[in-house]
Chains A and B, each alone.
Chain A
């Protein structure tokens, strides 16, 4: 039950992008086409799950026992950066076709604040190991959902008559605002 709550809360109620404002840069940058945004979303979800596992281990086996809370930020961001690099190399070796599809997004993921944000949140809430992974998965799925939704709308917008000044970023923000309002309806679900 609690697992379902954590997952649904991360995907809908407290959607990482639309409610928590984490990962806005890729959300705006890679949401022009459904296909690329799906690729970005899946790559991010994958790194999220790996990063949630590793940050939990670091927190509970290194930082907490040695009382080093102040090194948390440095340690997590370094680990996420190296994880992304490792994942990139691994996918390249294991499946070149997947690498072709996901490869260009991987370096961008390091500076996606949704990942570091997720790692910091799971420590703040002292989640158990299993719950951390579910939280990471939910965060990734929520990110993908928001990204694909925005991309779907932006593809249609190509044919719309938008005031010049709002073309591009302006209208994208306003649509994101409307999406965020829609997600507001999920509040109280959990």
Chain B
């Protein structure tokens, strides 16, 4: 049980995909103009991650080593297409905002990376727990980045106004340069916090 909890928590902070491992950065930068979009992207990726990790770990003894990468890619691409179609049908507005980056979940290094490095070597239960941890880690990272950009770029968080009257939005935060700079500053800040925490303990 303790091992499980450690697997789960690892993706949240220590091995956070975005802030620590620096993977899955394309969607992290592209769709985080608002907290809602970051969160939606995070959840969509988590769904694919959890489903494909489950299937990969179930099939780990069936798939020959030499063709494992193409097999994983087909499995992942299938779940991605399902997410794409279902979102288009039931959440069309969100789907058109996330656009190209939904099909591109296929090449998110996070998903293929967890299949290859974890799910193909561990039990199904452990793989699911790992995927959930990584998924939550990815989702909160994107939500935080989206929230930061939304506050400065539009003066809102999740669409609710949080700034004083007369606040002039920093348009640059909604544009591509704002994405890079916010992420750079966040990575730096989290490094400082991480260091303080480890010094204290």
Contact = CB atoms under 8 A, between A and B. Distances in A.
Chains A and B directly touch (beta carbon < 8 Å) = yes
Interface of A: 18-25, 28-29, 70-74, 77-78, 81-82, 110-113, 115-117, 120-121, 124, 163-166, 169-174, 176-178, 180-181, 184
Contacts of A163: 188
Contacts of A81: 69-70, 73
Given A28-B22, A170-B188, 11 more contacts: A22-B26, A25-B24, A74-B78, A77-B107, A110-B107, A113-B26, A116-B106, A117-B104, A166-B184, A166-B187, A170-B184
A177 B73 contact: no
Interface stretch (B53-61, B120-128, B173-181): B173-181
A23 to B, nearest CB: 7
A173 B180 CA distance: 5
Interface in B74-120: 74, 77-78, 80-81, 84-85, 100, 103-104, 106-109, 112
Contacts of B78: 74
A176 B178 CA distance: 10
Interface residues of B, number: 43
Contacts of A181: 172, 177
9 contacts: A74-B78, A77-B77, A77-B107, A111-B112, A116-B103, A117-B104, A166-B187, A177-B178, A178-B177
B31 to A, nearest CB: 9
B157 interface: no
A96 to B, nearest CB: 23
Contact of B26 (A23, A73, A171, A178): A23
A122 to B, nearest CB: 12
Contacts of B70: 78, 81-82
A180 B183 CA distance: 14
B65 interface: no
Q: 10 tightest CB-CB pairs across the interface, nearest first?
A: A173-B184, A177-B180, A177-B181, A21-B30, A174-B184, A170-B188, A24-B25, A181-B177, A165-B191, A74-B77
B74 A113 contact: no
Contacts of A74: 74, 77-78, 81
Contacts of A23: 26
A176 B188 CA distance: 15
Of A24, A74, A115, A176, which is in contact with the most chain B CB atoms at under 10 Å from its CB? A24
A91 B107 CA distance: 24
A22 to B, nearest CB: 6
Nearest to A19: B176
A15 to B, nearest CB: 9
